[in-house]
Structure 1
């Protein structure tokens, strides 16, 4: 997998001190000094998607706490050996470090063991320790809503899905999208092209074009740039934005965007550091808690389709709609979930198979 080497950008200094190393964490703050918090991003903050939204959360922390907090970030960090080096450097001068991509989990866990007095939080992972917390968003809920829209708008019953990296988080989104579309059109199919990266506008655009050429008349994505929406706009194909509202890139074709809202979580966790109540945890929140939100419907969404999507959203929030309720068959036609049952959170977090109708 090819990655661009990170371009480091620190908004606050990250100098290493002998005292910091001796303490296994940042040098002791002066009385009343600011909390130092750092974020590690897999993409550029200007991706208008995933990393952009996390950085909006960081900025919300600054706005909320003013001079009581000092933040920094490093963007475009590859998910490999370089990530561990970056995280370790940040741990030497910060009270808390947020690592915001699945591939940062293992490097962050290793660094957390070396810096027991520093707090670490990992987005979309599953490991925890006394100073290592996990936080995740139920993105699949947004996928289910967009699947319902696709089921109504796709005349061919074929959607194209630009996938990033085949981890459970992305696979469950593809499946949730497809299952929701099949509730409208039982014969609905989802064609997937993997770009094997989170942010690569060129590959994302090429994948979108290929999917349209293969017959898809609706596009969805789990990649971080607006390239898919831009391609859809050029081809007149309805599409879904990712992580933030991408309507400006597809004013005619974006049906909605699945938006990430990290600000309340980050504010809550920084406050916990400030008042001494921070504890490790593993949380998975979604529409109900406000971590997942949907952008306003675009011009291609009729009132009838909007009503159908709103019904799915309301059901996801009150529990009456289960995105993974059985019966569910896999690609080979083998029943994986029987009628009356639903995939558990534990099963979803390990999901490594596609539902019937997915071509990947």
Structure 2
């Protein structure tokens, strides 16, 4: 009887010790708007998650839910992650903003990180990348290479992040080709290969020989490849399987260093709510290899532009720039402030059409 009691006590002690070890693990959740295999936005966020696992090994446990619709369903997923013991939750799409704030109020001891939004709280940080810097480089290449002078652009949703990208690409395409025209199709989705392919085909039928996208799948790349003489750019991920043409370069979102840094802050107790908006210089925005389909001179100019942006010598929104209605926005040499960029709700002069409500 004593032996049984002793064994039971030892087992209980061992169980408690195991529990203590388990509790020492930092649990990190990720809420993804698309599938991890989308080849674009969610793929790169998941690469960041995997980098966290590689960096911290058995000190961390990561969990994720993919293809979570923006809205009430995302709130349910976040709530469940918090109930399941997550210490830190990354919510990786703009439409998760209000759900993140709502759930954070209910779980003040859980830290939240929301991508591309602007609402913060004591336990909610925001983070994003200056994608518009990469769009400037894409615009330069696109304006230099188009033969039809029609550049197509697939927009996801008419939010400031997407509008900034359209404006930046247009400004820099126009600088090298005054005859360039942008045609914009709104897909109203982040990830829907069928819709994205249809949007690309419509733009190509309208004469576009360059297609840019702010959607997440590789479907526009495939549509351009099928069409023939059309060039594209990888979005969020390199999409290098379509290189050297149609995909001639890309914007690559590199979330791994940020994710590692923020997980470490939770581990060592230094995490604080903050806003982070980094670009090419700090390495959050990468420019994928510019393929040999791009003329050498254009490639050299694009790389020079990249270096000037990275060093801070040049800002993609440098005046003179007018708004679409012709009113002055930025004077000669003046650069846009972050507040205006963060809330950008207008096209620059020369872009045709209206921004959907």
TM-score, structure 2 normalization: 0.90
Q: Give the alignment of 1:180-219 within 5 angstroms.
A: 180-219=172-211
List runs of 5+ in structure 1 lacking aligned partners.
1-27
Aligned partner of 1:150 among 118, 138, 142: 142
For 1:61, the equivalent position in structure 2 comes to 52
Q: Give the alignment of 1:167-182 within 5 angstroms.
A: 167-182=159-174
Matched, 1:242 2:238: no
CA distance in 2, matches of 1:228, 1:43: 16
CA distance in 1, matches of 2:318, 2:142: 19
Contact kept in structure 2, 1:164 and 1:196, CA below 8 Å: yes
Aligned partner of 1:43 among 5, 12, 34: 34
Shift of 1:358: 2.1
Point out the more displaced range, 229-238 or 119-128. Answer: 229-238
List runs of 5+ in structure 2 lacking aligned partners.
1-18
Matched, 1:85 2:71: no
Change (3 A) 1:220 1:31: closer
For 1:18, the equivalent position in structure 2 comes to none
For 1:281, the equivalent position in structure 2 comes to 274
Contact kept in structure 1, 2:244 and 2:293, CA below 8 Å: no
Contact kept in structure 1, 2:31 and 2:92, CA below 8 Å: yes
CA distance in 2, matches of 1:219, 1:300: 15
More helix by share: 2
CA distance in 2, matches of 1:290, 1:245: 15
CA distance in 1, matches of 2:224, 2:211: 7
SS of 1:120 mapped into structure 2: strand
Q: Which has the larger radius of gyration?
A: 2
Change (3 A) 1:41 1:32: closer
Count of residue correspondences? 333
For 1:20, the equivalent position in structure 2 comes to none
Contact kept in structure 1, 2:243 and 2:291, CA below 8 Å: no
Contact kept in structure 1, 2:154 and 2:185, CA below 8 Å: yes
For 1:21, the equivalent position in structure 2 comes to none
For 1:8, the equivalent position in structure 2 comes to none
Matched, 1:309 2:311: no
Aligned partner of 1:121 among 103, 113, 121: 113
Matched, 1:163 2:160: no
Contact kept in structure 2, 1:147 and 1:178, CA below 8 Å: yes
Matched, 1:134 2:101: no
Aligned partner of 2:286 among 268, 271, 293: 293
